[in-house]
Chains A and B, each alone.
Chain A
Amino acid sequence: MIRALLLAAVLVVMFAAPAAAHNVTAGADLRIAQTIAGAEVTLVIKGTSRVPGPLRIGVVAFERAAGLPVSLEVRSLTGGRTVKGVARAAADPEYAELRVEETGPHQLTLRAGDEVAVVPFRVLVDRGSAGDFLIYGGLFAAGLLLVGGLLTGAVSRRGPAMMLAAGAAAGVTVAAMVVVFEPMLPPGPPDGAAPTAQTQPAGGRPFAQARMETAPAGPAPGQEFTLRVDLTDGSTGRPVDDLVSHHEALAHVVVTSEDGRYFRHVHPLRTAAGRLEVRLRADRPGRYLVYAELEREDSGGQLLTGEFAVDGDPAGAATADLPAAVPELRPAVPVAGRPATIELPADGAVRPWLGMAGHLIVRSQDGSFLGHVHEMGTNGTRLRFTFSFPRPGRYLAWAQHATDGRIVTMPFTVDVAEPAG
Chain B
Amino acid sequence: MKRLIALAALLVAAAALFVAGRTSGAEPLTLTIAGSRYTVTVLIDPPRTGAIVVDTRVTSGDADGMALSAVMPDMGHAMPELAAAEREPGRFVAEGELFTMSGVWDVSIRLTGPAGEETLTAKALISG
Contact = CB atoms under 8 A, between A and B. Distances in A.
Given A194-B123, A196-B104, A130 B78 contact: no
Contacts of B32: 78-79
Interface in B75-91: 75-78
A197 B102 contact: yes
Given A78-B32, A196-B104, A236 B78 contact: yes
B60 A163 contact: no
Interface string B14-32: 0100110011010000001
A194 B104 contact: yes
What size tier do the contact residues of chain B reach?
20 to 34
A37 to B, nearest CB: 23
Contacts of B6: none
B113 interface: no
Nearest to B31: A78
Contacts of A297: 73
A245 interface: no
Contact of A188 (B23, B35, B103): B23
B125 interface: yes
What size tier do the contact residues of chain A reach?
35 or more
B9 interface: no
A379 interface: no
B8 A167 contact: yes
Interface string B27-44: 000001111000100000
A369 interface: no
Interface stretch (A52-60, A133-141, A220-228, A258-266): A133-141
Interface string A75-95: 111111000000000000000
A338 interface: no
Interface string A213-249: 0000000000000000000011111100010000000
Nearest to A235: B76
A294 B103 CA distance: 25
Contacts of A77: 33-35
A126 to B, nearest CB: 12
Contacts of A188: 22-23
A153 to B, nearest CB: 15
B15 A133 contact: yes
Interface in B84-112: 102-104
A78 B41 CA distance: 9
A185 B74 CA distance: 26
A76 B78 CA distance: 27
Nearest to A105: B122
Contacts of A242: 73
Contacts of A134: 15, 19
B104 A195 contact: yes
A205 interface: yes
Interface in A56-111: 75-80, 105
Given A75-B34, A80-B39, A195 B77 contact: no
Contact of B71 (A75, A76, A163, A238): A238
A343 interface: no
B103 A163 contact: no
A80 B39 CA distance: 8
B48 to A, nearest CB: 14
Given A137-B15, A163-B4, A197-B102, A80 B60 contact: yes
Contacts of B78: 235-238
Contact of B76 (A127, A196, A197, A236): A236
A80 B76 contact: no
Contacts of B75: 201, 235
Contact of B1 (A79, A163, A201): A163
B13 interface: no
Nearest to B14: A137
B52 interface: no
A183 interface: no
Nearest to A193: B123
A197 B104 contact: yes
Nearest to B19: A130
A298 interface: yes
A133 B18 contact: yes
Nearest to A19: B104
Given A242-B73, A297-B73, 8 more contacts: A77-B35, A78-B33, A79-B32, A79-B34, A134-B19, A188-B22, A196-B104, A197-B104
Interface of A: 75-80, 105, 127, 130, 133-134, 137, 141, 160, 163-164, 167, 188, 194-197, 201, 204-206, 233-238, 242, 297-298
Interface of B: 1, 4, 8, 11, 15, 18-19, 22-23, 25, 32-35, 39, 60, 71, 73-78, 102-104, 122-125
8 contacts: A77-B35, A80-B39, A194-B104, A205-B73, A233-B71, A235-B77, A235-B78, A298-B73
